[in-house]
Amino acid sequence: MPASSGLGTSSSGRLSGYLGRAKFYASMLGVDRARRAGFAREFSRSSRLFRGLRTRLGDAYRGDAAGLGAGLRGASFAERLLTLWGPSLANQELYLLVRSARPPVVVETGVASGISSTIILEALRRNGAGRLYSIDLPSRGSEGYLNSDGQREGVFLAAERAPGWLVPEELRSNWELLLGRSQEQLLPLLERLGEVGLFFHDSEHSTDTMRFEFESAWPHLFAGGFLYADDVTWNSAFATFAAGVAPHASGGITPARRGLLRRRSPA
């Protein structure tokens, strides 16, 4: 399975990284350069979306250092966060994937404040069709928690915040949020939905949880559907799973260092 090229610090390294990204996305998503560029411009110019998120973050955390963790300072941090968030490669990649693949059904595990959920829902809105189903078990402790691999998961929600609280009201009509562990919620949801066009893992990044989610979601992806996963370098779950489905899939590590597999056949 092809892996993406990394970005270098020299001009030749940057060019190599750009060409590597272009080649990966072209082969995986089947969209030409002009369409990809159009989606990238569309994402970067989503000022309405970004402005709304910045405003909501600023209003929520103005002067509230504890709400964002030790050392973070209210609205000024929120503004820096959203300034960086907008053009980040990982979020551009998620948007590009949804716009290019045009999945009728997206399943996401891990919501937290709802930034990725918002990106998916905005892309579905632009597509003119599609629905997002999300599963989340919020972590409330400001120190995060240790997962079953003994690694610290740092994402948390303040006690007064609901999962997905950042998702704009105008995008929520195409969204269903289920609360609980993916080990309890995912299989019943997939059985109810039948087929899924995109599965996005961003919940607990432990080996057992990632393996469970990949093995559960894969049989429900239709041919041409995608499995997409964050933080796949934390453990061997994605690499092992990808090797096991290699005869029926293409993909690898994306330019944003996420895992992406496209199902080629129903077997």
* Per-residue pLDDT reduced to its tens digit, 185-214: 999 999 999 999 999 999 999 999 999 999
- DSSP string spanning 212-240? HHHHHHGGGEEEEEEEEES-TTSSSHHHH
Angle in degrees, 0-180, between the axes of helices 182-193 and 207-217, rounded to the nearest 10: 10
Question: 66 and 172 share a domain?
Answer: no
Q: 131-136 and 105-109: which strand pairing?
A: parallel
Question: 54 and 120 share a domain?
Answer: no
Question: 72 and 144 share a domain?
Answer: no
How many CB atoms are closer than 10 A to CB 19?
11
Question: 225 and 150 share a domain?
Answer: yes
pLDDT at 43: 87
Structural domain span for residue 69: 46-87
pLDDT at 86: 53
The answer to whether position 144 is within a domain reads yes
Q: What distance in Å separates the CA atoms of residue 72 and residue 119, rounded to the nearest whole number?
A: 24
DSSP 3-state of 15: helix
Question: 169 and 66 share a domain?
Answer: no
Question: What is the model's pTM?
Answer: 0.84
Question: 52 and 168 share a domain?
Answer: no
Grouped pLDDT means (10 residues each) for the chain, 267 residues: 39 57 87 89 76 66 47 38 61 94 97 92 96 94 83 83 90 97 98 98 96 98 97 96 95 95 81
Which of 110, 211, 107 minimizes the C-alpha distance to 154?
A: 110
The answer to whether position 250 is within a domain reads yes
The answer to whether position 148 is within a domain reads yes
Which of 114, 110, 116, 111 minimizes the C-alpha distance to 57?
A: 114
pLDDT at 7: 30
pLDDT at 48: 65
